């Protein structure tokens, strides 16, 4: 290899055969590079190069002065499940020795031994790109604890791997957004900062920065809402953004410009409403590692004010410190009605809906122990995550199948949000899809004040037919069920949380015939119904209010009349549910009427009515859809 051929953007093919001294002499340096580094490298003096390198790395390091930030050495563990295996687990060993009470010499020896072992087993290499952020953090944070020859070898191997990673040839691993962001965004950005004296580092840094900014914009709506397709691996994607932001602040080179910084802040705010009580985001694949530390660090780096409810929620997440080998002990929040209902503020509401993102978040408040329902509709079967007092009840694909005259019919595969409503009493979402001459729809309502949810699926055809519908709501982990002996309601239990499910379109008493059944089938809440006519409708109410835990419930189908005559069930459906002292009215029209219709004494021209009966007896609508 000719002298001076190692640089970002260049071809490196024979460095493995070189000694460390030869390698240093072959590096091409920027004109503005530190003269001491260049001089030591050209002389092939490993000891002098190591001493100068420690000073340069120490000068570059400006750890952000913010509390509750996860140490950069451990931040790579957030992404330990991006690829198969766990190539960055060694950082926990290093961290344990660094924080031990051993003498300085013993800590240095222990850390050096770990790094030497990893270098022998492969060390920084392009085959394990997930480990490169970990090795770059080791270089910055642990260089003082490494022997001269080990430090130089680690520096060289890391530089080689990041140069190779920036080249083509990694496409077989670039299958998901977080992988692309890490390989083509984070690694170039951080290596361009860490190896800033090497020729081509500026272009490397800018390329990574540009991709990270572009992907942040492409993954989020104008208000920061992440697209539904990103939810499955959202923690892994966010981890790349957070580490890259941290690195930029550490080197005094901000990753974001003004617009992208605002978008990053909005993204963190939106994710706050999607978080479960341990920091995991709704409908993610469970691959998060220490999600609370990730969210707390993101909150600080995004610059969210502690006065913002979203920041208060994230900063109050239970500790899952990566430096601890024991699981943190979390006190379960009390399952009871809050002493004081938070005042509704539309601007600070945790609920949101985005047509572009194909995502809706229904949430009653920002407090710990809140109720929430996250719904996505970017695929043929929407997904749902329903939590009660932060405890997941329903989690996964909301699958529904419909048969018409014995033949399966499918929706068009595209769901549109045709109605979104949010106020101090409730959040309401309605989705609609067209296919095979049938209009399919789904309704979701979450009470903001009374701990219950309404979930319904329906299909409206153009002609008379025999319809059969099965809708399946997958239980979250830990949920058990208990069927009532006398009625068709079903009990659900999640730890100490008790809830009841009421199938409104089925006759309450088991002794009476019903065109369907509600059951626990293969870890799913399964509702099966049949109907003859032009429409079929399957509504459910899930009630987890502690005030109604032991209350007797009654429900029945109501008569719906138009111009003095009762209409059939495929024209409109009305239902009444009473649980203890609480009563609700549910009405849905499937065919438009010539005049307003009457249901339970309520005269309405609306398509949908969901209302409650206060003690005075008058109907007070929660939702009215024209």
pLDDT at 107: 83
Compare 183 and 614 and report the one with higher pLDDT: 183
Residue 221 has pLDDT above 90, yes or no: yes
Over residues 395-399, the mean pLDDT reads 95
Q: Could you state, in order of their start, the residue ranges of all structural domains in the chain?
A: 15-315, 349-545
Min mean pLDDT across 98-112, 223-237, 395-409 is at 98-112
Residue 87 has pLDDT above 70, yes or no: no
pLDDT at 216: 97
Over residues 292-310, the mean pLDDT reads 93
Confidence of residue 63 (pLDDT cuts 50, 70, 90): low
Compare 278 and 577 and report the one with higher pLDDT: 577
CA gap 52, 44 in Å, rounded: 13
CA gap 465, 149 in Å, rounded: 80
Confidence of residue 330 (pLDDT cuts 50, 70, 90): very low
Min mean pLDDT across 7-21, 299-313, 413-427, 508-522 is at 7-21
Give the Å distances, CA to CA, from 472 to 130, 359, 397, 446, 529: 37, 20, 8, 19, 12
Per the document, the length of the chain is 626
Q: How many CB atoms lie within 10 A of CB 283?
A: 20
pLDDT at 488: 94
pLDDT at 366: 93
Residue 605 has pLDDT above 60, yes or no: yes
pLDDT at 77: 86
**Residues 258, 30: contact at Cβ < 8 Å?**
no
Give residue-wise pLDDT tens across range 439-453: 999 999 999 999 999
Over residues 38-53, the mean pLDDT reads 93
Confidence of residue 60 (pLDDT cuts 50, 70, 90): low
Residue 333 has pLDDT above 60, yes or no: no
Over residues 82-91, the mean pLDDT reads 70
pLDDT at 121: 85
pLDDT at 128: 77
pLDDT at 167: 73
Does domain 15-315 fall into CATH 1.50.10.100?
Answer: yes
Over residues 336-364, the mean pLDDT reads 80
Over residues 331-358, the mean pLDDT reads 71
pLDDT at 226: 96
> What proportion of the chain, given as a percentage, has pLDDT over 70?
90
Sheet architecture: strand order including 383-388: 352-354, 359-363, 372-376, 383-388, 391-397
Residue 125, CB-side half-sphere exposure with 13 Å CA sphere: 10
Residue 616 has pLDDT above 80, yes or no: no
CA gap 420, 360 in Å, rounded: 9
Q: Which residue has the tokens 């913002």?
A: 308
pLDDT at 448: 94
Cα pseudo-dihedral 295, 297, 301, 305, rounded to 10: 70
pLDDT at 1: 38
Residue 270's closest CA among 239, 233, 228, 236? 228
Residue 323 has pLDDT above 70, yes or no: no
Give residue-wise pLDDT tens across range 485-533: 899 999 999 999 999 999 999 999 998 888 899 999 989 999 999 999 9
CA gap 235, 248 in Å, rounded: 20
Residue 13's closest CA among 134, 150, 151, 126? 126
Residue 170 has pLDDT above 50, yes or no: no
What residues pair up with 459 in beta bridges, in sequence order?
A: 440, 536
DSSP classification of residue 84? S
Burial 211-238 (b: 16+ CB within 10 A, else e): bbbebbeebbbeebbbbbbbbbbbbbbb
- The interaxial angle of helices 131-142 and 148-166, nearest 10 deg, is 140
Min mean pLDDT across 64-78, 202-216, 322-336, 377-391 is at 322-336
Residue 279's closest CA among 264, 294, 268? 294
Structure tokens at 197: 């004296």
pLDDT at 249: 92
Residue 133 has pLDDT above 60, yes or no: yes
SS3 call for 67:
coil
CA gap 504, 455 in Å, rounded: 11
Compare 202 and 617 and report the one with higher pLDDT: 202
pLDDT at 65: 61
Confidence of residue 545 (pLDDT cuts 50, 70, 90): very high
Name the CA radius of gyration of the chain, rounded. 30
pLDDT at 343: 60
Min mean pLDDT across 208-212, 603-607, 616-620 is at 616-620
Residue 535 has pLDDT above 70, yes or no: yes
Residue 100 has pLDDT above 70, yes or no: yes
pLDDT at 176: 81
Residue 204 has pLDDT above 70, yes or no: yes
Phi-psi region of 157 (alpha: psi -120 to 50; beta: other; left: phi over 0): alpha
CA gap 298, 296 in Å, rounded: 5
Enter the pTM of the model: 0.92
Residue 169 has pLDDT above 50, yes or no: no
pLDDT at 403: 94
CA gap 199, 9 in Å, rounded: 9
pLDDT at 67: 64
CATH number attached to the domain at 349-545: 2.70.98.70
pLDDT at 287: 65
Residue 325 has pLDDT above 50, yes or no: no
pLDDT at 411: 80
Residue 28's closest CA among 16, 38, 18, 14? 38
Over residues 90-98, the mean pLDDT reads 86
Give residue-wise pLDDT tens across range 406-463: 999 988 789 999 999 999 999 999 999 998 889 999 999 999 999 999 999 999 999 9
Computed over every residue of the chain, the mean pLDDT equals: 88
SS3 call for 219:
helix
SS3 call for 102:
coil
pLDDT at 509: 93
Residue 148 has pLDDT above 70, yes or no: yes
Over residues 570-578, the mean pLDDT reads 95
């Amino acid at each position: 290899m000719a002298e001076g051929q190692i640089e970002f953007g260049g071809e490196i093919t024979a460095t493995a055969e070189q000694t460390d001294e030869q390698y240093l002499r072959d590096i091409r340096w920027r004109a503005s590079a530190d003269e001491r580094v260049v001089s030591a490298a050209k002389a092939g003096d490993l000891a002098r190069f190591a001493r100068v390198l420690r000073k340069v790395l120490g000068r570059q390091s400006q750890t952000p002065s913010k509390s509750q930030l996860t140490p950069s050495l451990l931040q790579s563990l957030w992404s330990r499940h991006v690829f198969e295996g766990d190539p960055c687990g060694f950082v926990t060993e290093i961290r344990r020795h660094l924080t031990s009470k051993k003498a300085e010499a013993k800590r240095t020896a222990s850390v050096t031994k770990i790094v030497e072992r990893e270098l022998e087993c492969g060390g920084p290499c392009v085959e394990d790109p997930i480990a490169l952020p970990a090795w770059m953090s080791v270089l910055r944070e642990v260089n003082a604890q490494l022997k001269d020859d080990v430090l130089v070898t680690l520096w060289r191997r890391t530089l080689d791997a990041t140069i190779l990673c920036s080249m083509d040839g990694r496409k077989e691993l670039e299958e998901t957004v977080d992988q692309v962001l890490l390989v083509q965004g984070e690694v170039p950005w951080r290596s361009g900062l860490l190896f800033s004296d090497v020729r081509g580092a500026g272009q490397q840094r800018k390329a990574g920065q540009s991709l990270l900014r572009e992907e942040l914009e492409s993954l989020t709506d104008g208000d920061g809402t992440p697209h539904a397709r990103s939810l499955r691996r959202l923690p892994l994607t966010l981890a790349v953004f957070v580490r890259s932001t941290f690195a930029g602040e550490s080197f005094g080179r901000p990753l974001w410009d003004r617009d992208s910084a605002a978008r990053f802040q909005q993204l963190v705010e939106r994710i706050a409403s999607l978080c479960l009580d341990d920091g995991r985001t709704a409908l993610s694949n469970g691959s998060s590692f220490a999600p609370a530390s990730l969210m707390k660090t993101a909150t600080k780096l995004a610059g969210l004010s502690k006065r913002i409810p979203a920041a208060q929620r994230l900063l109050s997440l239970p500790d899952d410190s990566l430096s601890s080998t024991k699981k943190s002990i979390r006190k379960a929040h009390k399952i009871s009605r809050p002493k004081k209902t938070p005042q509704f503020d539309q601007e600070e509401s945790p609920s949101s809906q985005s047509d572009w993102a194909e995502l809706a978040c229904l949430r009653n408040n920002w407090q710990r122990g809140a109720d929430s329902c996250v719904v996505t509709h970017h695929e043929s079967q929407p997904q749902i995550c329903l939590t009660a007092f932060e405890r997941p009840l329903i989690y996964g694909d909301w699958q529904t199948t419909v048969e018409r005259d014995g033949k399966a019919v499918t929706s068009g595969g595209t769901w549109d949000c045709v109605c979104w409503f949010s106020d101090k009493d409730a959040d309401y979402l309605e989705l609609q899809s067209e296919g095979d001459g049938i209009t399919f729809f789904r309704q979701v309502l979450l009470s903001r004040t009374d701990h219950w949810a309404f979930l319904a699926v329906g299909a409206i055809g153009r002609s008379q037919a025999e319809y059969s519908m099965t809708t399946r709501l997958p239980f979250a982990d830990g949920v058990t069920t208990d069927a009532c002996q006398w009625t068709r309601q079903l009990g659900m239990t999640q730890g100490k949380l008790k809830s009841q499910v009421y199938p409104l379109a089925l006759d309450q008493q088991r002794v009476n015939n019903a065109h369907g059944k509600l059951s626990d089938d293969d870890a799913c809440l399964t509702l099966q119904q049949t109907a003859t006519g032009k429409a079929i409708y399957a509504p459910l109410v899930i009630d987890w209010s502690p005030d109604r835990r032991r209350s007797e419930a009654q429900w029945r189908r109501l008569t719906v009349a138009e111009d003095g005559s009762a209409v059939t069930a495929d024209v409109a459906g009305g239902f009444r549910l009473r649980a203890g002292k609480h009563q609700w009215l549910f009405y849905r029209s499937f065919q438009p009427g010539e005049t307003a219709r009457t249901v339970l004494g309520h005269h309405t021209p609306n398509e949908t009515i969901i209302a409650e009966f206060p003690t005075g007896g008058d109907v007070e609508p929660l939702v009215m859809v024209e």
